[in-house]
Structure 1
Amino acid sequence: MPTKRIQSDSRRASQSRGYIGLTYDTITSPDNATMVRSIAIFGAAVAFIASPWAEFLLPP
């Protein structure tokens, strides 16, 4: 009898995962950690400057 070919689990997992799951895996990948942190800090800075708290940066 010939042996059966078994699909690898990684291929099956990538087919069954949806768009949100793949996006989450991409964001949490260690290869992308620097870029994700940079975008998060930039977003926090923009939110701070656009808020009323930015008035504390003005000189008296």
Structure 2
Amino acid sequence: MAPKQRVVVQTGPTRKRQQEPSGFLSSAYRSITASENATVVRSVVVFGAAVAFLHSSFSELLIPQ
């Protein structure tokens, strides 16, 4: 018995896909800007800003007089 063949029918206009670069930096940028990772990226940015603030001389504003 011959194997069943699958026929794919396209409807509507065909569009060519844009060729995406496959480098490390471009894939990292795509994963960072993906909407699924927005909360993780936002948390890392806030944590980095807090560490930078506490390491700077502005952190002395938090010390009671």
TM-score (norm 2): 0.69
Count of residue pairs brought into register by the alignment? 50
Alpha-carbon separation, structure 2, partners of 1:44 and 1:59: 22
Percent of pairs identical after alignment? 42
The alignment yields a C-alpha RMSD, in angstroms, of: 1.7
Say which structure, 1 or 2, has more relative contact order (CA 8 Å, 6+ apart).
Answer: 1
Task: Find the structure with the greater CA-based Rg.
Answer: 2
TM-score (norm 1): 0.75
CA distance in 2, matches of 1:25, 1:17: 11
Please give the per-residue CA displacement for 1:20-52, whole angstroms capped at 9, x wherever unaligned: 000000000000000000000000000000000
